[in-house]
Structure 1
Amino acid sequence: MYNFTKSLCIILLLILAFAGCKDDKEVEPKNALMHDGREFEISKGLLIHLGKYPEGESGQVLFLSSDGVKIRESGGHIDSIYGIGHGIYFELISATGTELDEGEYTFDNDFTIEVKTFFDSYVVFNGDFATEDGEYYELKEGKLTVKKDGPNYILDIDCIERNSKHVTAHYKGPLTFYDEE
């Protein structure tokens, strides 16, 4: 009986030891926007080409939003944005007009129109995009990191808004492209 109890204790200890082991795979962060201790889901992204600048760079808009934000199209172009939800908006400069360049984009207060910079950016929470009601915060500094994984973009955002509060976000997924040049 003593050997049986001893064996049972060893088996239970081994089960507990292996149950506590985690898979070494990296856990992918969820698609979310964080501000002032609050978390908001984001589920889709748009990349809008605005046109070429004098030096050959491309002006673009990156817009990430929650499911409640809807896009109305007309003839392959954006007619309007409506619905209620959350979003983050960047006007940025890229070397190409049809995709985002990989790398780090930085906030440009001086509007130098250099590749991999952004400006006129803001975040909105609980916004009604038809009436423009909601919590809007203009971004004043920060960075946007862009990576590609096949058809998906991996976007990590770390910015400061005008009230000096952090705005962070992570998004992994495709970007719907519109050429509004």
Structure 2
Amino acid sequence: MKSIRTSCWIALSVLFAVACGDRKDPAPASNFKYDGKTYELNVGYYESYGANGDGSYDMDIFLMAESSDSTSSTLDGVYLDLNTSSAEGLVAGTYTFAEERKAFSMVDGSVSIHYNTVDETGDEYGIVGGTVEIAGTGSTYEITFDLTLDNSKQVTGTYKGKLLPFE
């Protein structure tokens, strides 16, 4: 699973560098807190993997910081593997960490801090518990999370803004 996440982070960092190089609109006030430090989140992507076969739908979310250096391959970000109850996209509600896929569950995820997608260095921690609250619909969301990581530390945060399709 880590190789899939790493591949997604690499693809997203390249996409981000190209797509956001000339961005002029102000970023939303979004961030996550880990180990006493605050990390900015100002761009979000989603990728839909379709039906799970149990009435739920697999939707992966990538939230990360826009770097002032668009050539950088180092990022801070949060990856959430959510399962929604609608084929149309995320449904407002609380998604709780679970071992099995079902509607309103989160089965995987990670938090990356100063993670270099080229040489795979930096810190990346798996999510082993917690909740994600989704508000909003369509292209604009407020995503609030309180997560337990595989190093027994907590990460909390909020992302307010658009979720762009990962292509």
Whether TM exceeds 0.5 here: the answer is yes
Offset of 1:164 from its aligned partner?
A: 1.5
Structure with the greater alpha carbon radius of gyration: 1
With the length of structure 1 as denominator, give the TM-score of the two structures: 0.70
- Consecutive unaligned residues of structure 1, counting only runs of 5 or more, are 1-28, 70-81
Q: Do the aligned residues in 1 keep the contact of 2:139 with 2:164 (CA within 8 Å)? A: no
Mapping for residues 1-181 of structure 1, pairs under 5 Å: 30-68=29-67, 83-108=73-98, 110-111=99-100, 113-148=101-136, 151-178=139-166
| Stretches of 4+ aligned residues off by more than 3 angstroms | none
Counterpart CA distance in 1 for 2:151 and 2:166 is 32
Q: Is the 8 A contact 1:43 1:66 kept in 2?
A: yes
Cα distance between partner residues in 2 of 1:168 and 1:91: 16
Contact 2:55 2:102 in 1 (8 A): no
| Structure 2 residue identity aligned to 1:163 | N
Deviations 1:84-112 (A, max 9, x none): 1101011111122342110000001x22x
State the identity %: 26
Quote how far apart the aligned CAs of 1:171 are.
0.6
Name the count of aligned residue pairs: 138
Point out where structure 2 has 5 or more consecutive residues left out of the alignment: 1-27
**Amino acid corresponding to residue 141 of structure 1 in structure 2:** G
Counterpart residue number, 1:73:
none
Which is richer in strand?
A: 1
Distance (whole Å) between structure 2 residues aligned to residue 36 and residue 166 of structure 1: 8
Letter in 2 for 1:164: S
Residues 106-131 of structure 1, C-alpha deviations (whole Å, 9 max, x = no match): 001x22x1101011211000011232
Aligned-pair RMSD on alpha carbons? 2.3
After TM superposition, the score normalised by the length of structure 2 is 0.75
